[in-house]
Chain A
Amino acid sequence: AQSVTQLDSQVPVFEEAPVELRCNYSSSVSVYLFWYVQYPNQGLQLLLKYLSGSTLVESINGFEAEFNKSQTSFHLRKPSVHISDTAEYFCAVIPPKAAGNKLTFGGGTRVLVKP
């Protein structure tokens, strides 16, 4: 079984400041890793994912995450946030050979960007 821990439930940050959202996972097998974002009153959308290859993955809107196998982490960063980045962010994992596309989610980190 897998588990995902997001260490911060809320992160307030000022506009144009950097932000880091921490995600650690536990699994006895290798996993794919995902970050999903949920804007207010909407469903979740995929932000970025790591399947294999380069451990640094980027999204189209300036976020990046780095897979660290030794620390079992997949932290999400953005060097300069905008008001529009206010949302809840979820880290999720799945073993490549899992039966069914069954993601295991962390508890979420709510980011509030202040002007």
Chain B
Amino acid sequence: NAGVTQTPKFQVLKTGQSMTLQCAQDMNHEYMSWYRQDPGMGLRLIHYSVGAGITDQGEVPNGYNVSRSTTEDFPLRLLSAAPSQTSVYFCASSYTSSGHNEQFFGPGTRLTVL
């Protein structure tokens, strides 16, 4: 049981490039989400999904796209990278979207945009 996995661990992009951050979970969790972590600001929700085929925006969605074609995978796409997107990105999942459920976090992807 690998839990929540993320690839890559590190990435450097130039302004304007696009890329996809991968996230997968093997716990059959219904709910998945993406956060970004910036110093002093905690984690902020980018997008989330309550099940396959269903996604919605979080607090800071601009510049990011997501899709959820399977229960297991929830990739995050940066359409045209900007220096303001330099951050650490965490994918998380939970059994359902109910607020009492523990969220399980992946190890993170550290992204630098030059």
Known: A32-B99, A43-B4, A45-B105. A101 touches B33 (CB 8 A): yes
Contacts of B58 in A (CB 8 A): 102
> When the two chains form the complex, which single residue of A4, A45, A51, A105 contacts B100, counting CB atoms closer than 8 Å?
A51
Tell me if A9 counts as interface (CB < 8 A to partner B). yes
B75 close to chain A: CB less than 8 A? no
B102 on the A face (CB < 8 A):
yes
The answer to whether A100 and B43 touch (CB under 8 A), given A32-B99, A43-B4, is: no
- Complex Cα–Cα for A100 and B94 (A): 11
**At the interface with chain A, which of B14-22, B44-52, B60-68, B77-85?**
B44-52
Interface residues of B, count at CB 8 A:
28
Are A101 and B48 neighbours in the complex by a CB distance under 8 Å? yes
B86 at the interface (CB under 8 A from A): no
Partner of B40, one of A92, A101, A102, A107: A107
User: Quick one: CB contact mask for A58-95 with B, threshold 8 Å, 1 for yes?
Assistant: 00000000000000000000000000000000101011
Contact pattern, A 1-42, Cβ under 8 Å of B = 1, otherwise 0: 000101001000000000000000000000010001000011
> Is the CB–CB distance between A90 and B105 below 8 Å?
no
